[in-house]
């Protein structure tokens, strides 16, 4: 067995964006968002709320990305010292640790 001490987080921004996109039929999921999030939480993911400090950190980001959800994810990662798992090459241009989700 391989164990890791890394904590896995799911940002409220991610859930918010998933909720909007599924409501607009721009994101198709096999299960409702609530079920997916419940599964992630059941597998040890921890919820990461959006705080005032996260919102304030956004103002210091260079204007590389126009998506407010992605910008708050970058701000959260910077403020909390977290790594973002992403397919988005623009996020990888910020001063934040990333893991390329395509690999």
What is the per-residue pLDDT for 103?
79
Under CATH, to which class is 9-100 assigned?
alpha beta
What is the per-residue pLDDT for 1?
52
User: Which residues in 59-71 are b (16+ Cβ under 10 Å) and which e?
Assistant: eebeeebeeebbb
Q: Mean pLDDT over all residues of the chain?
A: 94
**Percent of the chain whose predicted confidence (pLDDT) is above 90:** 92
Q: Does 4 have pLDDT greater than 80?
A: no
Average pLDDT over residues 66-89: 96
Q: Is the dihedral of CA 24, 21, 72, 70 positive or negative?
A: negative
Taking phi over 0 as left and psi of -120 to 50 as alpha, with beta for the rest, 44 belongs to left
Average pLDDT over residues 2-25: 90
- Domains of the chain, by residue range, sit at 9-100
């Amino acid at each position: 067995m391989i164990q890791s001490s890394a904590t896995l987080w799911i940002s409220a921004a991610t859930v918010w964006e998933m909720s909007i996109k599924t409501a607009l039929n721009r994101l198709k999921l096999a299960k409702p968002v609530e079920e997916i999030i419940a599964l992630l939480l059941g597998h040890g993911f921890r919820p990461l709320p959006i705080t005032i400090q996260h919102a304030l950190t956004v103002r210091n980001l260079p204007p590389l990305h126009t998506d407010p959800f992605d910008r708050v994810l970058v701000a959260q990662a910077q403020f909390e010292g977290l790594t973002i798992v992403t397919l988005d090459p623009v996020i990888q241009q910020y001063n934040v640790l990333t893991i390329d989700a395509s690999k």
